[in-house]
Each structure stands twice: as structure tokens, then as C-alpha cells.
Chains A and B, each alone.
Chain A
Amino acid sequence: MSENLLPFVFVLFGLGLFCLLTQRNLIKLLVGLELLGKATTLAIVWSGVLRNTPDYAQSLALMVIAIEVMVVAIFLALINAFHQKSQNLDTDDLRRLKG
């Protein structure tokens, strides 16, 4: 094949960053994190394709996917907890860490 998927990895990563930086709803932040994770997975697999070691790359990608799932689970539990406290999911109102 004569394709290069690396720019797409960067685009996906950039999209994920953009989402994280601009969206205020917590669910949207989750989306942003997910996009970052998928970009990373793609990068790992792509590097495996380039180096002709697909097995190794796939096992690393599996690790990342597993961790991504954990992060999502925790994030959702966090969202649940926030919602129980105050029915608000806006990051502008979550400012308890202000110095």
C-alpha cells in the first residue's frame, strides 16, 4: 500500500485536544478523552505496520484499549457523583480547586 496514515493520527489527536479545551459539558470531555485514546491506538498499530511487527504492536494496542476503558468507567462514575451533588454538569461551576 502506498498510504500514509500519520497525518490522520495528528488530526485525530488535534481534534481530541480541541474538544478538551473548548467543550464545557463533562460528557463532551469524555468524548475528547476517547478521541485522544483512539489516536494513540491508531499510532501504535500504524507503527507496527511500518516496522513489520504487527503482533507486538497489537499487544501494546490492547493494553491501551484496556486502560482507556478503565478511564471511561471512572469518568462516568465521577459524572454520576457530580450529578448527585448538584444537578449541574458544567465545568464552569466546578471550581473548588481555585487557588
Chain B
Amino acid sequence: MALSITPGEKYGFFTDTSICIGCKACEVACKEWNGLQADNSVFLADSFDNTGQLDSEHWRHVKFIEQVPDAATSIGNGQAWLMMSDVCKHCTHASCMQVCPTGAIIRTEFDTVFIQQDVCNGCRNCISACPYSVIGFSSSTGTARKCTLCYDRLQNNLMPACAKACPTQSIQFGKLDDMHAVAAKRLDAVKAGGAPNAQLYGADDLVYGGLNAFFLLMDKPETYALPNAANSVLPARNNLFGYLGTLLTAAVAVIAGLVALRRRTEPSPRPVPETEPVASAPAAVEPAAVEPAPETPTPGRRRGRRRGRKG
């Protein structure tokens, strides 16, 4: 049956990590569809991971988290070797979008977050803002890049390449409401199967207002290097105190400057030693050293002079 993807509806991914087998078919499909550069595989000494991270050329990345316990674990617990196909979360409250100065990062008609490549000028402000380390700078395009949630495929009623390629249906794509219902049902089943720590991440609005790419995790978010709900804060939170601190400093600095730079036209009260070379060497007095012509005294200057005497 042909997929019908309607503009104006919210779409997203539900990634069920409990059935991810780490095959990386999603990574390959993503690279192939989006024309991302292949890279020389390197040994990272990090489990089965050989791409390392999400960045400008890796828009899907399978994380392998080995935490083999010392003691035997119960059957079906499934916490010894965690796998998770990570991707841009397409946050409802997107940090990257909040700080983009060019307006290159937009929300599409499918409620996904998209970087317009012809608008982005490569300032990289979004990279320092994304709390998921999703966005990377591409030296080949000179722009910031990340998962588009296959925007071009959605416009043509095609599901995203990664979801299409996933052999275990760990990655599911659909209307967000439908995905939430599927996820809730799946969570119940996984918990009933003996995984008490299983939880949904980003299905509710506690994490960045809700994620259009949300997850069923087998452990707490921090285990997967994901900020928890308490840490889901936007960059703009620091505007208020940052500017207040600057304003306060500016006020103090200006007052300090006004105090320090008050004019005192009389000579320094401390006498100049007789060995003063300037006094005996006229050549040392350069033309520029000639004191500026005295100005017409103003009330302000007179006040300054009086203060100078007091000091």
C-alpha cells in the first residue's frame, strides 16, 4: 500500500532500541540516499562502532554501549550490550533553531527541523547549541548539516531511507500520534518481558517540548549520552543573566572611568625628582608632547579641578 504523507501533519521516528541488532543498515541507507561521503573505516576501540558520531557525513549512527555486568544478569534483561540507532531528534523546542542567526534552520510542513543549505553560511552557532551533538560542519559545503528526516522523500510520499532499510523495524516512521501509541504499547510489552528500566525518551514534552524522533531506551538517558529531562534546557536561558552581568559590569566600568579620568590640570602633587632628564634635555620634548591648548573653562571642568584639589 502506498504511503500517504500529508503536509501539515506531524511526522517522526520511533526508534525501539530493544530490537536494534546493530547491523548499521540504517547508516548505509542514509548515506546512500543522501549522497553522504563514505569514509575509511577505522578501528575506534569502542565496541562495534566504526563511525564514531553523528556529524555532517553521518546522519544515522548506531551506538554500541557495552556494559557487561560482573554478576550474571537475569534472562531477558538485555542490558549487557545496548545498541541504539541515533539520529537528529527534530526537537519541538530546537536549540539549533533558536540560535540560528540566518534563519537557515526552519520547521518544515512535516514538523521536522531542516537546515536550508542555500541559506546557511557556516557560522556554526547551531553546533555549539545542539545538546545531542547532532550537527556537524561540512568542509566540503561550508555549511552545517544533519538529518533532514529525508525531506525530499517525504515530499514524494516515501518513508525515510533508514526506516525503510531497518530489518528489525527498530526504526519506525509515521504520524507522531500513531508512533506514540505504538511506543506505549511496546513499552508495556518490554517491561512485562523483564526489563524494568525500559523507558520512553522524548515521547512526552519533558525533553525539549517533545522529540519528533523519540526512543524506547533500555536504561536511563545518560547511559546513551542523552540529556535527561532536568537538563533539557535551551541556550537562550542564559541571555537574561548574561546580559544582566554585562550591564552591571558596564555600569561599574563607566563609573570607574568617570572617577579615574576626572581632569586635574594642576601638576602632580608629588614633586618630580631633580634628575628628571626631560628638564635638562630639550630634545626629549617632542612636538607631540606639547600640551594641548587650554580649552575655554567650562563649569564641568571647574568642578573637576576642585575635586582634583580635594583629592
Do chains A and B stick together as partners?
A: no
Residues of A within 8 A of B (CB): none
Residues of B within 8 A of A (CB): none
